[in-house]
Structure 1
Amino acid sequence: MKIAKATGRPTGSVFPILARLEQLGWATSEWETADPAARDARRRFYQLSPEGLSSARALLDERRPTAP
């Protein structure tokens, strides 16, 4: 999974986080619609929702260090 590799976290912690983000309305997901015979398993694609994007930006702004 690309998200797990990019964050360095195990998939066992990434999937519950993604599920919580979906429950909060911060993320949406959909199953791959490509031919299932083309791959071993279908992939699930995640995307931040507009609310999730603005909330994430607000959190980053709050936690970003201020200039001295």
Structure 2
Amino acid sequence: MRVTYALVRLAAALMNAPDERHWGYELSRASGVRSGAMYPRLSTMLEEGWLTDGWESAGETSGRPPRRYYHLTDKGKIELGAILSKAASDERFKNPGWGFA
């Protein structure tokens, strides 16, 4: 997968809470990546086995439509950790707000 700003920011958001479920809207807000760039990357991560996905149960929805969630796999934690490590030494990604510059 090509390392881009969107991927690095999305990786940082996912790795901020690696054992929790993540929602698309929450990931977009946390990473600053718009849905048009985020969802294709999430799809690729699913295909690569870096994420699993699922849907909220009816009891969790409080009357709204169920949300799709994403959860990091062990492989995903390793791969995204490697991407963040690489990005930390890459001048293109030096940004103090990302927490690894």
How far did 1:17 drift?
A: 1.0
Instruction: Give 4+ residue runs of structure 1 displaced > 6 Å after superposition.
Output: none
Partner of 1:8: 32
Matched, 1:48 2:54: no
What TM-score do you get using the length of structure 1 for normalisation?
0.76
CA RMSD of the aligned region, Å? 1.9
Q: Distance in 2 between matches of 1:51 and 1:42?
A: 27
Aligned to 1:24: 48
Q: Shift in Å at residue 57 of structure 1? A: 1.7
What is the deviation of 1:29? 0.6
Q: Which moved more, 1:32-41 or 1:49-58?
A: 32-41
Q: Equivalent pairs: percent with the same residue?
A: 28
- In the TM superposition, what whole-angstrom CA distance separates every residue of 1:3-39 from its partner, at most 9, and x where no partner exists? 1111112112211111110001011111111248733
Greater CA radius of gyration, 1 or 2?
1
Determine which structure has greater relative contact order: mean sequence separation of CA pairs < 8 Å that are 6+ residues apart, divided by chain length.
Answer: 2
Residues 20, 39 of structure 1: alpha-carbon distance in 2 compared, 3 angstrom cutoff: farther
Q: TM-score, structure 2 length as denominator?
A: 0.55
